[in-house]
Structure 1
Amino acid sequence: MATYEVALVLLVDASGAVLMQHRDDWTSISPNQWSLPGGHVEQGETPEQAAHRELLEEAGLTAGELRLLWSGPRPYETGFPHTVTVHVFHGTTNATQRDVVVGEGRAMVFIPREQVLDRDLAVTTATILPLHLGSAGDAH
Protein backbone atom coordinates (compact mmCIF):
# COMPACT_ATOMS: atom_id res chain seq x y z
CA MET A 1 0.00 0.00 0.00
CA ALA A 2 1.41 3.37 -1.03
CA THR A 3 1.81 6.11 1.57
CA TYR A 4 2.04 9.75 0.58
CA GLU A 5 1.15 13.34 1.51
CA VAL A 6 -1.17 15.76 -0.25
CA ALA A 7 -1.44 19.54 0.15
CA LEU A 8 -4.74 21.33 -0.56
CA VAL A 9 -5.48 25.06 -0.59
CA LEU A 10 -8.65 26.67 0.72
CA LEU A 11 -8.23 30.00 -1.06
CA VAL A 12 -10.80 32.71 -0.36
CA ASP A 13 -11.24 35.84 -2.46
CA ALA A 14 -12.24 39.32 -1.25
CA SER A 15 -15.97 38.45 -1.44
CA GLY A 16 -15.50 35.25 0.61
CA ALA A 17 -15.86 32.94 -2.42
CA VAL A 18 -13.79 29.73 -2.35
CA LEU A 19 -11.58 28.60 -5.23
CA MET A 20 -12.77 25.15 -6.34
CA GLN A 21 -11.60 22.77 -9.04
CA HIS A 22 -14.05 20.72 -11.10
CA ARG A 23 -12.00 17.58 -11.68
CA ASP A 24 -12.12 15.96 -15.09
CA ASP A 25 -12.90 12.34 -15.84
CA TRP A 26 -9.23 11.52 -16.57
CA THR A 27 -8.28 11.53 -12.89
CA SER A 28 -8.30 8.32 -10.90
CA ILE A 29 -9.30 10.13 -7.69
CA SER A 30 -12.70 11.82 -7.45
CA PRO A 31 -13.38 12.14 -11.19
CA ASN A 32 -16.02 14.72 -12.17
CA GLN A 33 -16.27 16.04 -8.62
CA TRP A 34 -15.39 19.39 -7.06
CA SER A 35 -12.35 19.75 -4.83
CA LEU A 36 -9.91 22.23 -3.44
CA PRO A 37 -6.85 22.76 -5.63
CA GLY A 38 -3.82 20.75 -4.57
CA GLY A 39 -1.83 17.61 -5.08
CA HIS A 40 1.07 15.42 -4.00
CA VAL A 41 3.88 16.72 -1.82
CA GLU A 42 7.01 15.96 -3.82
CA GLN A 43 10.30 14.67 -2.42
CA GLY A 44 12.24 17.44 -0.68
CA GLU A 45 9.19 19.71 -0.51
CA THR A 46 7.32 20.85 2.59
CA PRO A 47 3.52 20.61 2.49
CA GLU A 48 3.33 24.43 2.40
CA GLN A 49 5.73 24.58 -0.57
CA ALA A 50 3.60 21.96 -2.32
CA ALA A 51 0.45 24.00 -1.65
CA HIS A 52 2.01 27.09 -3.27
CA ARG A 53 3.31 25.06 -6.23
CA GLU A 54 0.00 23.27 -6.83
CA LEU A 55 -1.97 26.54 -6.66
CA LEU A 56 0.30 28.01 -9.33
CA GLU A 57 0.19 24.89 -11.53
CA GLU A 58 -3.55 24.32 -11.28
CA ALA A 59 -4.93 27.87 -11.14
CA GLY A 60 -2.12 30.17 -12.26
CA LEU A 61 -2.36 31.96 -8.92
CA THR A 62 0.12 32.82 -6.22
CA ALA A 63 -0.83 33.37 -2.61
CA GLY A 64 0.90 35.24 0.16
CA GLU A 65 0.87 33.52 3.50
CA LEU A 66 -0.78 30.13 3.67
CA ARG A 67 -1.77 29.02 7.16
CA LEU A 68 -2.17 25.36 8.06
CA LEU A 69 -5.87 24.83 8.67
CA TRP A 70 -6.01 21.05 9.12
CA SER A 71 -3.76 18.04 8.81
CA GLY A 72 -4.74 14.40 9.12
CA PRO A 73 -5.54 11.16 7.33
CA ARG A 74 -7.59 11.23 4.14
CA PRO A 75 -11.17 10.25 4.95
CA TYR A 76 -11.92 6.59 4.38
CA GLU A 77 -13.33 5.67 0.99
CA THR A 78 -14.16 2.10 0.01
CA GLY A 79 -11.67 0.72 -2.46
CA PHE A 80 -9.11 3.51 -2.08
CA PRO A 81 -5.79 1.63 -1.83
CA HIS A 82 -3.45 4.26 -0.38
CA THR A 83 -2.60 5.78 2.98
CA VAL A 84 -2.65 9.55 2.56
CA THR A 85 -1.94 12.39 4.95
CA VAL A 86 -3.76 15.55 3.87
CA HIS A 87 -2.56 19.06 4.74
CA VAL A 88 -5.12 21.82 4.12
CA PHE A 89 -3.84 25.39 3.99
CA HIS A 90 -5.94 28.54 4.10
CA GLY A 91 -5.09 31.73 2.27
CA THR A 92 -6.74 34.84 0.98
CA THR A 93 -6.29 36.52 -2.37
CA ASN A 94 -7.13 39.73 -4.16
CA ALA A 95 -7.27 37.73 -7.41
CA THR A 96 -10.53 37.56 -9.31
CA GLN A 97 -11.96 34.96 -11.66
CA ARG A 98 -10.31 36.80 -14.57
CA ASP A 99 -6.89 36.00 -13.05
CA VAL A 100 -7.52 32.25 -12.89
CA VAL A 101 -5.87 30.02 -15.48
CA VAL A 102 -7.21 26.46 -15.65
CA GLY A 103 -4.07 24.33 -15.52
CA GLU A 104 -5.80 21.12 -14.54
CA GLY A 105 -9.35 19.82 -14.46
CA ARG A 106 -12.51 21.01 -16.24
CA ALA A 107 -12.82 24.28 -14.39
CA MET A 108 -11.28 26.37 -11.62
CA VAL A 109 -13.87 28.73 -10.22
CA PHE A 110 -14.39 31.04 -7.26
CA ILE A 111 -17.69 29.80 -5.87
CA PRO A 112 -19.71 31.90 -3.42
CA ARG A 113 -19.31 30.34 0.02
CA GLU A 114 -23.04 29.72 0.45
CA GLN A 115 -22.99 27.56 -2.71
CA VAL A 116 -19.86 25.41 -2.24
CA LEU A 117 -21.55 22.68 -0.21
CA ASP A 118 -24.22 22.31 -2.94
CA ARG A 119 -21.65 20.79 -5.34
CA ASP A 120 -20.78 17.12 -5.82
CA LEU A 121 -17.68 17.26 -3.61
CA ALA A 122 -14.68 14.93 -3.54
CA VAL A 123 -14.55 12.89 -0.33
CA THR A 124 -11.73 14.87 1.32
CA THR A 125 -13.23 18.23 0.38
CA ALA A 126 -16.68 17.10 1.55
CA THR A 127 -15.20 16.20 4.94
CA ILE A 128 -12.89 19.17 5.46
CA LEU A 129 -14.81 22.09 3.96
CA PRO A 130 -17.87 22.06 6.25
CA LEU A 131 -15.63 21.87 9.32
CA HIS A 132 -13.61 24.94 8.39
CA LEU A 133 -15.68 27.07 6.05
CA GLY A 134 -16.99 29.29 8.83
CA SER A 135 -13.66 30.22 10.41
CA ALA A 136 -11.63 30.18 7.18
CA GLY A 137 -14.21 32.07 5.20
CA ASP A 138 -14.32 34.84 7.79
CA ALA A 139 -10.55 35.31 7.71
CA HIS A 140 -10.38 37.73 4.79
Structure 2
Amino acid sequence: MQKFVAGVLLVGADAALLLQQRDEHAPTFPEQWAFPAGVAEPGEAPLEAAHRELWEETGLRVASLGPFWEGPMPASPLYGFLFHGRTSARQQDVVLGEGRAMVFVPAAQVLELDLAAYARPALTEFLASAAYREHVAAIAGN
Protein backbone atom coordinates (compact mmCIF):
# COMPACT_ATOMS: atom_id res chain seq x y z
CA MET A 1 0.00 0.00 0.00
CA GLN A 2 1.19 3.53 -0.77
CA LYS A 3 1.76 6.11 1.94
CA PHE A 4 -1.44 6.95 3.77
CA VAL A 5 -2.68 9.00 6.68
CA ALA A 6 -4.59 7.57 9.64
CA GLY A 7 -6.56 9.82 11.95
CA VAL A 8 -8.82 9.60 14.98
CA LEU A 9 -12.05 11.42 15.76
CA LEU A 10 -12.13 10.98 19.53
CA VAL A 11 -15.21 11.91 21.55
CA GLY A 12 -14.67 12.81 25.18
CA ALA A 13 -16.83 12.22 28.22
CA ASP A 14 -18.76 15.45 27.63
CA ALA A 15 -19.24 14.80 23.88
CA ALA A 16 -16.41 17.21 22.98
CA LEU A 17 -13.92 16.28 20.25
CA LEU A 18 -10.19 16.00 20.86
CA LEU A 19 -8.44 18.38 18.46
CA GLN A 20 -4.87 19.47 17.90
CA GLN A 21 -3.72 22.98 17.15
CA ARG A 22 -0.78 22.45 14.84
CA ASP A 23 2.26 24.61 15.57
CA GLU A 24 4.26 26.85 13.25
CA HIS A 25 6.64 23.96 12.44
CA ALA A 26 3.97 21.71 10.92
CA PRO A 27 4.92 20.88 7.31
CA THR A 28 1.33 21.46 6.17
CA PHE A 29 -1.44 23.65 7.56
CA PRO A 30 0.67 25.28 10.29
CA GLU A 31 -1.19 26.86 13.21
CA GLN A 32 -4.53 25.39 12.13
CA TRP A 33 -6.69 22.87 13.98
CA ALA A 34 -7.21 19.21 13.09
CA PHE A 35 -7.75 15.80 14.67
CA PRO A 36 -4.86 13.57 15.77
CA ALA A 37 -3.43 11.98 12.61
CA GLY A 38 -0.26 11.13 10.80
CA VAL A 39 1.42 9.13 8.07
CA ALA A 40 1.54 5.39 8.65
CA GLU A 41 4.86 3.67 9.13
CA PRO A 42 5.97 1.07 6.54
CA GLY A 43 4.01 -2.18 6.94
CA GLU A 44 1.53 -0.64 9.38
CA ALA A 45 -2.18 -1.30 8.88
CA PRO A 46 -4.56 1.70 9.00
CA LEU A 47 -6.06 0.81 12.41
CA GLU A 48 -2.61 0.20 13.90
CA ALA A 49 -1.44 3.57 12.57
CA ALA A 50 -4.48 5.31 14.07
CA HIS A 51 -3.86 3.81 17.52
CA ARG A 52 -0.14 4.67 17.32
CA GLU A 53 -0.75 8.26 16.20
CA LEU A 54 -3.30 8.77 18.98
CA TRP A 55 -0.82 7.47 21.55
CA GLU A 56 2.12 9.50 20.20
CA GLU A 57 0.19 12.76 19.92
CA THR A 58 -1.99 12.54 23.05
CA GLY A 59 -0.69 9.85 25.40
CA LEU A 60 -4.15 8.26 25.23
CA ARG A 61 -5.09 4.69 24.42
CA VAL A 62 -8.61 3.59 23.63
CA ALA A 63 -9.96 0.04 23.62
CA SER A 64 -11.89 0.38 20.39
CA LEU A 65 -11.84 2.49 17.25
CA GLY A 66 -14.37 2.03 14.48
CA PRO A 67 -13.98 3.00 10.83
CA PHE A 68 -15.59 6.30 9.86
CA TRP A 69 -14.21 7.37 6.48
CA GLU A 70 -11.70 6.29 3.84
CA GLY A 71 -10.58 8.00 0.64
CA PRO A 72 -8.33 10.66 -0.89
CA MET A 73 -7.58 13.31 1.73
CA PRO A 74 -8.91 16.75 0.79
CA ALA A 75 -6.09 19.21 0.03
CA SER A 76 -3.51 16.41 0.20
CA PRO A 77 -1.94 13.96 -2.24
CA LEU A 78 -2.34 11.17 0.33
CA TYR A 79 -5.05 8.60 0.91
CA GLY A 80 -6.66 8.67 4.34
CA PHE A 81 -8.38 6.47 6.90
CA LEU A 82 -10.41 8.02 9.72
CA PHE A 83 -11.52 6.13 12.77
CA HIS A 84 -13.79 7.18 15.61
CA GLY A 85 -13.99 6.28 19.25
CA ARG A 86 -14.95 7.42 22.70
CA THR A 87 -12.87 7.98 25.82
CA SER A 88 -13.51 8.75 29.46
CA ALA A 89 -10.20 10.64 29.57
CA ARG A 90 -10.31 14.24 30.74
CA GLN A 91 -8.22 17.18 29.61
CA GLN A 92 -5.70 16.60 32.41
CA ASP A 93 -5.10 13.07 31.04
CA VAL A 94 -3.96 14.38 27.65
CA VAL A 95 -0.20 14.56 27.10
CA LEU A 96 0.75 16.94 24.30
CA GLY A 97 3.10 14.99 22.06
CA GLU A 98 2.96 17.20 18.99
CA GLY A 99 1.68 20.64 18.04
CA ARG A 100 0.79 23.72 20.06
CA ALA A 101 -2.22 22.28 21.89
CA MET A 102 -4.37 19.16 22.15
CA VAL A 103 -7.73 19.92 23.72
CA PHE A 104 -11.27 18.64 23.99
CA VAL A 105 -13.35 21.19 22.07
CA PRO A 106 -17.12 21.39 22.63
CA ALA A 107 -18.96 20.21 19.50
CA ALA A 108 -20.69 23.58 19.08
CA GLN A 109 -17.29 25.30 18.80
CA VAL A 110 -15.47 22.84 16.51
CA LEU A 111 -16.52 24.36 13.18
CA GLU A 112 -15.75 27.89 14.43
CA LEU A 113 -12.02 27.07 14.63
CA ASP A 114 -9.47 27.76 11.90
CA LEU A 115 -9.53 24.16 10.68
CA ALA A 116 -7.05 22.60 8.27
CA ALA A 117 -8.54 22.07 4.80
CA TYR A 118 -8.51 18.29 5.22
CA ALA A 119 -10.10 18.44 8.68
CA ARG A 120 -13.14 20.66 8.01
CA PRO A 121 -15.06 18.26 5.73
CA ALA A 122 -14.36 15.26 7.97
CA LEU A 123 -15.39 17.07 11.15
CA THR A 124 -18.51 18.52 9.51
CA GLU A 125 -19.54 15.05 8.34
CA PHE A 126 -18.72 13.41 11.67
CA LEU A 127 -20.68 15.89 13.79
CA ALA A 128 -23.75 15.24 11.60
CA SER A 129 -23.29 11.46 11.59
CA ALA A 130 -25.09 8.59 13.27
CA ALA A 131 -21.69 7.55 14.69
CA TYR A 132 -21.36 10.83 16.62
CA ARG A 133 -25.01 10.67 17.77
CA GLU A 134 -24.36 7.15 19.08
CA HIS A 135 -21.40 8.41 21.12
CA VAL A 136 -23.52 11.24 22.53
CA ALA A 137 -26.34 8.83 23.40
CA ALA A 138 -23.91 6.43 25.11
CA ILE A 139 -22.43 9.30 27.13
CA ALA A 140 -25.89 10.50 28.15
CA GLY A 141 -26.79 6.95 29.23
CA ASN A 142 -23.87 6.75 31.67
Question: What does 1:87-98 correspond to in 2, within 5 Å?
Answer: 87-98=81-92
Counterpart of 1:131 in structure 2 is 125
Q: Does 1:111 align with 2:110?
A: no
Identity rate, percent: 49
Structure 1 unpaired stretches of 5+: none
The structure 1 segments of at least 4 consecutive aligned residues displaced by more than 4 Å after TM superposition are none
Which residue does 1:60 correspond to in 2?
A: 59
After superposition, the C-alpha distances for 1:76-113 in whole angstroms (9 at most, x for unaligned) are 3xxx6xx2001110000010101000000000000001
**Aligned pairs, number:** 133
Question: Normalized against structure 1, the TM-score is what?
Answer: 0.91
User: What 5-or-longer segments of structure 2 have no aligned partner?
Assistant: 136-142
Matching of residues 1-140 of structure 1 within 5 Å: 4-76=3-75, 83-135=77-129, 136-140=131-135
Query: Greater helix percent: which structure?
Result: 2
RMSD: 1.1
The alignment's TM-score, normalised by the length of structure 2, stands at: 0.90
